[in-house]
């Protein structure tokens, strides 16, 4: 069945087949789960939130909690205000969160529900908060929804009168809990006092105990979100996930921000370290980590050099993986994301141009069906991206290295970083291992050796 993808390419304008993304509410839900004692709430049908929770649970192998307005035909016709009011009361009575973060779905957006008016009219218990973000499923992607939910928290909670606290706000981007933990470790070595927003570490990778905790210990607190208005500056990692919320905080609270790429690979991690150090010395521990990464890259260079690959997934992650592949001496042949926006193609082409790669295919709002067709016409040596590439890998007999979101068919992925110098070492080891395994499989018996 996987071999039925045709080699002949027909341009499609109105149809996506196996899109390289999912919908805005998935990203909004994930963003809300990074806030302590927050209950994400999907303003739409039960089927919508079931899909969104399932998608996240399959990736993180952790329960992704969320509530729903449970639309039926009546709410679809007359509006979901009564459903939302009843839901908010029940959630506070039964689950007792500190905040309910409401995101919309395509249904509630299409009928024009005014969530701001609904929230202003409802009775909310003292000390509790209800906020919202508009996240129509038919526009953007889960990355857009993530950014919109962060902006919603800032719009409702960031306090422009918050006292100056001397801290740096870190918006880590749409990354795994293991990545957030690694970024915090690196910046901690530099002595940088942080407010991390959002912070899914210890929430979506909470340790196993003898009791279920609906609200694990992790997550950014509401007080910390309010205190964003008193920070010195913002380090916003990833243009597509974090530039718009950082801009929203700047406009509301006059907090300047520096938008950096996700720290994947040598140069991007260097940029984060130097921005955090601000002219101060870099700890020996980080220098040693960087040196070990460079040593690994040099040792394995014969297996990386000029190998072609296809990179696909979320835009910020894909740009980071592309930069690292170029640093390894590899040659990206296809660089795609499902998130729309020509900014992605401009940045990717500029990155490829720095290394003299002029014949790569770069596309935003792309899908994996067309990627498969391109590969049928011009194969590559490696696939680098999400679990959805495994079908192409099997059909075309190409090694796949899983990275980014979602990885649904492996365990422990979300706990292990691909950011920072340590994360780059892990990535380099996985890529080299996949290419060397393929060499061992295909080489003649007399060429198979124990020492590579």
Q: DSSP labels for 325-383?
A: HHHTT-EEEEEEESS--HHHHHHHHHHHHHTT--S-EEESS-BHHHHHHHHHHS--SEE
- The boundaries of every CATH 3.40.50.1980 domain in the chain are 24-157, 168-206+214-277, 284-447
**pTM, rounded to two decimals:** 0.95
Residue 11: its pLDDT value, please? 84
Q: What is the mean pLDDT of residues 111-118?
A: 92
β-bridge pairing 38-43 and 67-68: parallel
pLDDT bucket at 80, cuts 50 / 70 / 90: confident
278, 255 Cβ separation under 8 angstroms: no
> What CA–CA distance (Å, rounded) separates 146 from 168?
21
324 or 1: which carries more pLDDT confidence? Answer: 324
Q: Using alpha carbons, list the distances in angstroms from residue 364 to 337, 341, 396.
A: 5, 6, 23
Asked if the model's pLDDT at residue 176 lies above 80, the reply is yes
Q: In whole angstroms, what is the distance from residue 166 CA to residue 193 CA?
A: 8
The reported pLDDT for the residue numbered 229 is 97
CA distance 299 to 292: 10
Fold (CATH) for 284-447? Rossmann fold (3.40.50)
- Judged against a pLDDT cut of 80, whether residue 452 lies above it is answered with no
Q: What's residue 72's pLDDT? A: 86
Residue 171 has pLDDT above 60, yes or no: yes
Q: Specify whether the CB–CB gap between 59 and 200 falls below 8 A.
A: no
CA distances 228 to 179, 193, 224, 251, Å, are 22, 12, 6, 13
The answer to whether 420 and 269 are in contact (CB under 8 A) is: yes
Q: How confident is the model at residue 449 (pLDDT cuts 50, 70, 90)?
A: confident
Q: Tell me the two tokens of residue 130.
A: 């209800």
Return the closest-CA partner of residue 442 out of 404, 395, 397: 397
Q: What pLDDT is recorded for position 2?
A: 65
Which residue's structure tokens are 């805005």? Answer: 24
Stretch 56-62: mean pLDDT, rounded?
96
Q: Is the pLDDT at 451 greater than 90, yes or no?
A: no
> CA nearest 243: which of 351, 316, 340, 311?
316
Give me the pLDDT at residue 361, please: 97
More confident call, 451 vs 169: 169
Quick one: average pLDDT of 237-266?
97
**pLDDT at 3 exceeding the cut of 80:** no
Q: Which whole number is the average pLDDT over 393-413?
A: 96
- The CATH H-level (homologous superfamily) assignment of domain 24-157 is Nitrogenase molybdenum iron protein domain (3.40.50.1980)
pLDDT surpasses 60 at 1: no
Is the confidence at residue 281, as pLDDT, over 80? yes
CA distance 266 to 294: 8
Residue-level pLDDT at 391: 94
Distance CA 11, CA 298 (A): 41
**pLDDT at residue 116 in the model:** 94
**Mean pLDDT in the chain?**
95
Output the pLDDT for position 396: 96
Q: What percent of the chain has pLDDT over 90?
A: 88
Average pLDDT over residues 314-341: 97
pLDDT-based confidence at residue 280 (cuts at 50, 70, 90): confident
The CATH fold assigned to 168-206+214-277 is: Rossmann fold (3.40.50)
Structure tokens at 381: 């040596």
């Amino acid at each position: 069945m996987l071999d039925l993808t045709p080699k002949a390419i027909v341009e499609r304008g109105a149809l996506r087949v196996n899109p390289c993304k999912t919908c805005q509410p998935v990203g909004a839900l994930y963003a809300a789960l990074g806030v302590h004692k927050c209950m994400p709430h999907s303003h739409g049908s039960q089927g919508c939130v079931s899909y969104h929770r399932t998608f996240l649970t399959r990736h993180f192998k952790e329960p992704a909690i969320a509530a729903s307005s449970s639309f039926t035909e009546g709410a679809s016709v007359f509006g979901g205000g009564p459903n939302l009011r009843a839901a908010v009361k029940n959630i506070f009575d039964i689950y007792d969160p500190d905040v309910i973060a409401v995101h919309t779905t395509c249904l509630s957006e299409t009928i024009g529900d005014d969530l701001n008016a609904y929230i202003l009219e409802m009775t909310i218990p003292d000390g509790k908060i209800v906020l919202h973000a508009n996240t129509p499923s038919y526009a953007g992607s889960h990355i857009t929804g993530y950014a919109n939910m962060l902006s919603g928290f800032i719009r409702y909670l960031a306090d422009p009168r918050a006292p100056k606290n001397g801290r740096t706000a870190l918006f880590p981007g749409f990354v795994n809990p293991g990545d957030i933990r690694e970024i915090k470790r690196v910046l901690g070595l530099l002595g940088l006092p942080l407010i991390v927003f959002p912070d899914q570490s210890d929430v979506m990778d909470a340790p196993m105990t003898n009791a279920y905790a609906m609200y694990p210990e992790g997550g950014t607190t509401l007080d910390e979100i309010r205190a964003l208005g008193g920070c010195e500056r913002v380090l916003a990692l990833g243009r597509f996930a974090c530039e718009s919320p950082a801009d929203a905080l700047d406009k509301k609270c006059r907090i300047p921000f520096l938008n950096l790429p996700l720290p994947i690979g040598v140069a991007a991690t260097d940029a984060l370290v130097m921005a955090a150090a601000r002219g101060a010395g870099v700890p020996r521990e980080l220098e040693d980590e960087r040196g070990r990464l460079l040593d690994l890259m040099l040792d394995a260079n014969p297996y990386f050099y000029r190998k072609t690959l296809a990179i696909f997934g979320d835009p910020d992650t894909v740009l980071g993986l592309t930069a690292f592949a170029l640093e390894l001496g590899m040659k990206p042949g296809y660089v795609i994301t499902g998130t729309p926006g020509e900014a992605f193609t401009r940045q990717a082409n500029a990155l490829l141009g720095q290394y003299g790669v002029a014949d790569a295919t770069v596309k935003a709002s792309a899908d994996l069906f067309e990627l498969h067709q391109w590969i049928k016409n011009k194969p590559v040596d490696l696939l680098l991206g999400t679990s959805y590439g495994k079908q192409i890998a099997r059909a075309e007999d190409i090694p796949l290295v899983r990275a980014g979101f979602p990885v649904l068919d492996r365990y422990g992925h979300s706990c292990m970083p691909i950011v920072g110098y340590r994360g780059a070492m892990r990535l380099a080891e996985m890529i080299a291992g996949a290419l060397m395994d393929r060499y061992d499989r295909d080489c003649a018996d007399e060429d198979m050796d124990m020492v590579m």
